[in-house]
């Protein structure tokens, strides 16, 4: 692969160059309902409109009192207060708590004038219009103070934040009925390879699988919607026209294959024809060496391997973090665990390696067994395992028995309970 | 809350009873395209149709050779082979490798007859129809063996598995153009509370926030689609009619509020009116004590607190694991990390507590600072933190400095790099 990949850059250098050379912005905003906004990226900073709670409220069912009245109360020597009324949630309290009196109050109800604490039912007894208090309550005891959740102006949801159900709930509590979110980027996916046919097509041949890997990975990012441009044969001119079409319609493009396989450099040739500027050509990534980035006009074209696993590593190591970085969106962390290696894991010097492993419980620990080294390009290394280790370029390998972080790709039954 | 929650069951007992008393099945299957199937639950076991690779193939660009011919080759004393042809990917090899000869071969191309190994370009030189081999290659060196990824009949995707991009790619590689997935369960959501109004409605009052929490949480499970039945006032008969309607249309229902708040037990009353059978009434969960489960006809009705945070805990501790358990779907693990507590965390005996924390880097470690205990019911405890700890019922608390597992709810910048 000498011609194209003369100087491989490190994964970090690839990201650094991409972040410094490319700009990418969301293609607009839209209003989404509170539920549909979940999982989307917020396009505005949302603040509390009013104090929440809007007034002091009871946090329990019981009796609103003046806390000073309850001083010294005990079950053997209760304080007796006269019951003067009742306050329900959602109504304006008409009851007023003078010294020596109390109002029955329900959870969420506004604190009546004069009262500064609530005694729970459990700590009271009741007889003939009087309430026995068995336990003293401090000032504001069992009271939700005005503004203790949000004060007007507090940020509930920052801009460029992945919306979760609690954001929807908190915005609803402030009267917001929808959330402004960014439209997803449109990502053109172009598959190259004259030998490829689409699954489901008659005939046979080699089915396009890498395209579906990339389309699925894009879908899972949540920030981009894939648009599939189909398979292009090994014809640089034809490919250039498809890339041009994609960059007219899409925010960025991703190609797979056609990078120095069997001497066919159709993707680099097409990029050069279109006057593309190379940001980097080849990454010291295993697998995933062909991963490259060019800019045509002002739009990025990510170039991934034609091999599905190498396209996966190129996507995870470069495309995904670069998308998040350029857009300014902090992604949710991937699920991961710490596990103990069951055998030595060598790493070729200067390379970042994505090593698939199977994690499972083993004698009170969690063990990680690497998939055979030879199989690093096999799809079964992803479908029959449940995690991967990233070995950074500076590390010569890990020893048997060493603890490593495993990112989980498929369920790992029994390795995490509560 | 004495009337309803006389005997709280543990979280584990609640799950155990639910799994033993309720049955819930997916409401059917549908064919989804390979990309749309990502994130869905597979409804069939998918196996490899043919060996993959279907024949021995070259794993590199180079020369197909008889490995025995390369014995003893070195750069100072190269083996010289006559070049007799070329094989490209996707074509039937016409070249045949006799002793003393080789065929040029490209990555992915079928091994020609006679050859049993490939020497990479890097280890060769070429002159006038001859190739110099500088390094010996073992039998099957640089060859992808037939069936080494999948043998015909191997499982690629098990039933009831969350489909990820690699499953789509692997099925595509076997010619599958779509994946049979389960339809999502329809989940009715009924919000109770006469004091509530919908966000966006004029007037003011207390906005329904808990409903949006539950609708969002359901959406995030991936196995259920929420159907919102709106707000019902504190009227058990009216509520019973809405629950009935939901159970006619939906696979299960979830109510929020109306559980012993201010003496208003409209949800239990409605359940009783409908002849519901209680599986458990109240869980030793903090917050989330009102969490309950009843069966009406043969459909489950989950009862959650009217408070958004207590509805979240009830959902996470009971509804979500019970849904996955009943459906037989192993969920993807939640992202989590280990962190060190910055202060003591007491736990009331017999309760499972969901404690929200803020995790952040601190002096080379990751620290977790619990949100104020008093604020356990506040939505800001979820929007201004990024994780939570589950303190199981048998644990009296954790000490300052103790390592605890934190489940991450929002991004946690800087705490996990590669």
Separation in Å, CA of B380 to nearest CA in chain A: 6
Closest residue in A to B353 (Cα–Cα): A418
User: Within this chain, do residues B210 and B273 fall inside the same structural domain, yes or no?
Assistant: yes
Using a CB-CB distance cutoff of 8 angstroms, which residues of chain B are in contact with residue A327? none
B1 has a pLDDT exceeding 90:
no
User: Within this chain, do residues B365 and B221 fall inside the same structural domain, yes or no?
Assistant: no
Residue B262 within a domain = yes
CB contact under 8 A, B90 and A331: no
User: Within this chain, do residues B240 and B258 fall inside the same structural domain, yes or no?
Assistant: yes
**Tens digit of each residue's pLDDT (9 = 90 or more) over B292-327:** 999 999 999 999 999 999 999 999 999 999 999 999
User: Within this chain, do residues A258 and A344 fall inside the same structural domain, yes or no?
Assistant: no
B417 has a pLDDT exceeding 50:
no
pLDDT band of residue B261 (cuts 50, 70, 90) is: very low
User: Within this chain, do residues B290 and B398 fall inside the same structural domain, yes or no?
Assistant: no
Which B residues 121-140 touch A at CB under 8 Å?
Answer: 121-122
Q: How far is CA A76 from CA A67, A73, A130, A132, A134, in A?
A: 19, 8, 17, 11, 8
This model of the complex carries an ipTM of 0.92
Alpha carbon distance B115, B97 (integer Å)? 6
Pairing of strands A62-65, A117-120: antiparallel
A365 phi and psi angles, rounded to 5 deg:
-115, -175
Q: What is the distance in angstroms between the CA of the first residue and the CA of the last residue of chain A?
A: 49
Q: What's the domain count of chain B?
A: 4
Which A residues 267-306 touch B at CB under 8 Å?
Answer: none
Q: What is the pLDDT of residue A263?
A: 57
DSSP state of B283: B
Q: What is the pLDDT of residue A2?
A: 37
CA-nearest of A194, A193, A196 to A206 is A196
Residue B361 maps to which CATH number?
2.40.340.10
User: Within this chain, do residues B207 and B80 fall inside the same structural domain, yes or no?
Assistant: no
Alpha carbon distance A129, A115 (integer Å)? 18
Q: What is the pLDDT of residue A417?
A: 41
User: Within this chain, do residues B261 and B344 fall inside the same structural domain, yes or no?
Assistant: no
CA-nearest of A346, A336, A353, A358 to A390 is A353
Alpha carbon distance B75, B71 (integer Å)? 13
User: Percent of chain B scored above 90 by pLDDT?
Assistant: 87
pLDDT band of residue B72 (cuts 50, 70, 90) is: very high
Q: What is the mean pLDDT of each run of 10 residues along chain A (418 residues)?
A: 64 98 97 98 97 91 96 96 92 95 93 97 94 97 94 98 98 97 98 93 86 98 97 96 98 92 78 97 95 97 96 98 97 93 93 96 93 81 96 94 96 68
User: Within this chain, do residues A216 and A319 fall inside the same structural domain, yes or no?
Assistant: yes
Residue B124 within a domain = yes
Closest residue in B to A330 (Cα–Cα): B411
Residue B40 maps to which CATH number?
3.90.105.10
**Tens digit of each residue's pLDDT (9 = 90 or more) over B81-112:** 999 999 988 789 999 999 999 999 998 899 99
Q: What is the pLDDT of residue A90?
A: 77
**This prediction's pTM:** 0.92
Q: Is A202 on the interface with B (CB under 8 A)?
A: no
Residue A321 maps to which CATH number?
3.40.980.10
Separation in Å, CA of B116 to nearest CA in chain A: 17
Residue B112 within a domain = yes
Using a CB-CB distance cutoff of 8 angstroms, which residues of chain B are in contact with residue A167? 383
For B150, the closest of A214, A260, A380 (CB atoms) is A380
Using a CB-CB distance cutoff of 8 angstroms, which residues of chain B are in contact with residue A191? none
Residue B167 within a domain = yes
B2 has a pLDDT exceeding 70:
no
Spell out the residues 6+ positions from residue B297 whose beta carbon is closer than 8 angstroms to its own: B247
Using a CB-CB distance cutoff of 8 angstroms, which residues of chain B are in contact with residue A171? 199, 212
User: Within this chain, do residues B94 and B132 fall inside the same structural domain, yes or no?
Assistant: yes
Q: Is B148 on the interface with A (CB under 8 A)?
A: yes
Q: What is the pLDDT of residue A373?
A: 63
Angle at B355 between CA B349 and CA B356, to 5 degrees: 170
CB contact under 8 A, B380 and A170: yes
B140, B60 Cβ separation under 8 angstroms: no
For A262, the closest of B61, B330, B383 (CB atoms) is B61
**Tens digit of each residue's pLDDT (9 = 90 or more) over A192-237:** 998 899 999 987 678 999 999 999 999 999 999 999 999 999 999 9
CB contact under 8 A, B220 and A418: no
Residue A102 within a domain = yes
For B90, the closest of A148, A171, A206 (CB atoms) is A206
> DSSP letters along B60-92, please?
SSEEEE-GGGGTT--SSS-EEEEEEEEE-TTS-
Pairing of strands B46-47, A387-391: unpaired
Domain around B276: 11-26+184-327
User: Within this chain, do residues B259 and B210 fall inside the same structural domain, yes or no?
Assistant: yes
Spell out the residues 6+ positions from residue A58 whose beta carbon is closer than 8 angstroms to its own: A64, A87, A105, A106, A107, A108, A109, A111, A118, A142, A143, A144
Residue A233 within a domain = yes
Q: What is the pLDDT of residue A89?
A: 80
Q: How far is CA A318 from CA A216, A284, A307, B65, in A?
A: 16, 11, 16, 36
Q: What is the pLDDT of residue A370?
A: 95
Using a CB-CB distance cutoff of 8 angstroms, which residues of chain B are in contact with residue A375? 148-149
Residue B413 within a domain = no
Separation in Å, CA of B207 to nearest CA in chain A: 5
User: Within this chain, do residues B46 and B95 fall inside the same structural domain, yes or no?
Assistant: no
Pairing of strands A365-370, A29-33: unpaired
User: Within this chain, do residues A205 and A286 fall inside the same structural domain, yes or no?
Assistant: yes
Q: What is the pLDDT of residue A159?
A: 98
Q: What is the pLDDT of residue A375?
A: 66
Pairing of strands B185-192, B46-47: unpaired
Of residues B415 and A198, more confidence is placed in A198
Separation in Å, CA of A248 to nearest CA in chain B: 23
Residue B198 within a domain = yes
Residue B71 CB neighbours (<10 A): 11
Alpha carbon distance B262, A340 (integer Å)? 53
Angle at B334 between CA B332 and CA B337, to 5 degrees: 140
B226 has a pLDDT exceeding 90:
yes
């Amino acid at each position: 692969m000498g011609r194209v990949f003369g100087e491989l850059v490190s994964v970090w250098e690839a990201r650094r160059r991409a972040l410094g050379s490319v700009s990418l912005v969301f293609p607009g905003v839209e209003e989404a309902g509170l539920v549909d906004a979940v999982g989307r990226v917020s396009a505005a900073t949302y603040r509390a409109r009013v104090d929440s709670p809007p007034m002091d409220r009871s946090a329990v069912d019981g009796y609103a009192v003046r806390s000073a009245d309850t001083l010294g109360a005990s079950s053997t020597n209760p304080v007796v207060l006269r019951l003067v009324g009742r306050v329900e949630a959602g109504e304006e309290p008409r009851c007023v708590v003078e010294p020596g009196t109390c109002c029955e109050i329900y959870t969420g109800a506004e604190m009546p004038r004069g009262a500064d604490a609530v005694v729970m039912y459990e700590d009271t007894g009741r007889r003939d219009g009087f309430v026995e208090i068995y336990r003293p309550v401090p000032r504001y005891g069992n009271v939700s103070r005005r503004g203790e959740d949000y004060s007007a102006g507090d940020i509930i949801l920052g801009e460029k934040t992945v919306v979760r159900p609690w954001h929807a709930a908190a915005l609803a509590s402030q009267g917001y009925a929808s959330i402004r979110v960014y439209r997803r980027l449109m990502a053109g996916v172009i598959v190259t390879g004259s030998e490829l046919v689409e699954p489901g097509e008659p005939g046979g041949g080699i089915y396009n699988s890498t395209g579906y890997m990339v389309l699925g990975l894009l879908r899972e990012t949540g920030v981009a919607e894939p648009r599939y441009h189909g398979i292009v044969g090994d014809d640089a001119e034809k490919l250039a026209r498809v890339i041009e079409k994609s960059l007219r319609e899409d925010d960025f493009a991703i190609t797979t294959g056609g990078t120095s396989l069997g001497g066919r450099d159709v993707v680099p040739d097409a990029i050069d024809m279109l006057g593309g500027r190379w940001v980097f050509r080849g990454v010291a990534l295993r697998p995933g060496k062909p991963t490259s980035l060019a800019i045509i006009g002002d739009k990025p074209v990510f170039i991934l391997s034609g091999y599905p696993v190498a396209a996966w590593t190129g996507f995870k190591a470069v495309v995904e973090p670069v998308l998040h970085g350029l857009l300014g969106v902090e992604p949710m962390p991937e699920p991961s665990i710490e596990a103990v290696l069951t055998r030595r894991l060598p790493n070729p010097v200067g390379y970042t390696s994505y090593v698939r492993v199977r994690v499972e419980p083993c004698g009170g620990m969690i063990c990680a067994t690497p998939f055979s080294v030879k199989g690093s390009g096999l799809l079964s290394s992803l479908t029959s395992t449940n995690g991967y280790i990233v070995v950074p370029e500076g590390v010569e390998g890990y020893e048997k028995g060493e603890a490593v972080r495993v990112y989980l790709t498929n369920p790992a039954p029994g390795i995490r309970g509560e």
